[in-house]
Structure 1
Amino acid sequence: MVYYFTSDIVSPSASIYVGKDKFENEELIKYGLEQDVWVRSSALPCPAGPLDSLTACAHVYLRLQDDESWENIPKELLEDCAQLTKANSIEGNKKDNITIIYTPWSNLLKNASMVTGQVSFHNPKLTRKILVATRQNPIVNRLNKTKVESYPDLRAEKENYLKIKRKEERRIREEKKNVEKHERKERDDLKWQKEHAYDDLMSEDSVVQSSNQDRDPDFLDDFM
């Protein structure tokens, strides 16, 4: 099960989602999308045992728009993600002044040596941190009002996303190819015009010269 939340402090509204438990987190790690941002407490250990609540160490994901970057997420939206992370972490919800870390989904590293729900980074420098002093109930309550439970086929969603992306990339390549072809034709036409700019004039000179050469030698006597 995945819990979806909507943050309407930005326009268009942002989608935030959280896995129910560490097993669901595994699926989210595996089938995340390129525009996803992973958010989690950086100071709290994630227990390996069974979980009775949402998650002992919440993995929160923010889905950005295609034209947005994880490096310039609005401060208010980051606060929503951080508060949701704190509120849905068993230990984090009990403590103040916790550090929240976030990074692009593509920076997540998962290998066979890691326990269920555990994750690391390809590049630790490709991360950001924010401090959450205390739980802000108005923010948490606002987000909880938008909460929706769902059982998505994450694999199918990703395959569909990649299919659409590949189709769009092909369209862009074809458009670029057509533009380049059109520009190349215009250059060739302009080059031909420059090379043959005097063809008509030279042809007229040849006709005049040929006409004079064909006249009888006594032609000028008619004017004397």
Structure 2
Amino acid sequence: MVFYFTSNAAAAPYTIYMGKDKYENEDLIKHGWPEDVCFHVDKLSSAHVYLRLQPGQGMDDIPKEVLSDCAHLVKANSIQGCKLNSVTVVYTPWTNLRKSPDMDVGEVGFHRSKEVRSVRVERRAPEQLRRLERTRVERFPDLAAERLSRDRRERGRQRQELREQRREQRLETQRKREMEELRSYSSLMKAENMSSNQDGNDSDDFM
């Protein structure tokens, strides 16, 4: 089971989701999307909370209100963290998650520490959590199939972009050729390159 939440704290809504337990966390780690950002309480056991960004967005594009929603949600779903007044929440792109065979179920590391950021949750936020809880939807998704569908759409989008780029290149090549032909024609039509009968270049030769 996966729990889905909607953050309406910013101008545009964002989807947040997390697994019910550590076994579902394994599936989320395996079948995440490149647009996902993973949140976890630092040095404590907690749920893996994922924020799905729009294509082209990065961590710098996360509104601070949405960042706060994710941080409070992951704190509230940490057995130890939920009892503490303040915790540090770390977050990183899904592509930076590292899973090795020797790790326990639900455990994850990072490929590059420089891509890991942190935010401090200093206080409880019951109203914030209630707002998110009202949006919660429980689903049993086929995560592998959803990822495959996403990848197909992305490949289609990339192919379309490539076709558009090639079309623009062809048009640009055609425009350059037409400009070169126009400059060549203009050069031929310059006054100093033209002759007249008065120059002795009469083509009709009468005796």
The two structures have a TM-score, normalised by structure 1, of 0.85
Root mean square deviation, CA, Å: 2.0
Q: 2:86 aligns with which of 97, 108, 126?
A: 97
Percent identical pairs in the alignment equals 39
Partner of 2:154: 165
User: What code does the residue aligned with 2:90 have?
Assistant: I
Larger Rg: 1
User: What code does the residue aligned with 2:108 have?
Assistant: V
Unaligned runs of 5+ in 1: 47-56, 217-224
Alignment of 1:84-163 (within 5 A): 84-163=73-152
1:74: how far off? 1.5
Alignment of 1:187-202 (within 5 A): 187-197=176-186, 199=188
SS in structure 2 opposite 1:209?
A: coil
- CA distance in 2 between partners of 1:133 and 1:157 (Å): 36
The question of 1:64 aligning with 2:64 is answered no
**Does structure 2 retain, via aligned residues, the 8 Å contact 1:43–1:98?**
no
The question of 1:209 aligning with 2:201 is answered yes
Question: Against the structure 1 CA distance between its residues 205 and 23, is the aligned structure 2 distance closer, same or farther, given a 3 Å change threshold?
Answer: farther
- CA distance in 2 between partners of 1:112 and 1:162 (Å): 26
Per-residue CA deviations over 1:87-126 (Å, capped at 9, x if unaligned) read 1111111112111000111110111111110100010111
SS in structure 2 opposite 1:76?
A: helix
Runs of 4 or more, structure 1, over 4 Å off, are 198-206
Q: How many residues align?
A: 204
**Does structure 2 retain, via aligned residues, the 8 Å contact 1:86–1:135?**
no
The two structures have a TM-score, normalised by structure 2, of 0.91
Partner of 1:27: 27
User: What code does the residue aligned with 2:125 have?
Assistant: Q
**Does structure 2 retain, via aligned residues, the 8 Å contact 1:103–1:127?**
yes
Partner of 2:7: 7
- CA distance in 1 between partners of 2:2 and 2:151 (Å): 21
Unaligned runs of 5+ in 2: none
Question: Against the structure 1 CA distance between its residues 151 and 203, is the aligned structure 2 distance closer, same or farther, given a 3 Å change threshold?
Answer: same
Partner of 2:169: 180
- CA distance in 2 between partners of 1:205 and 1:152 (Å): 84
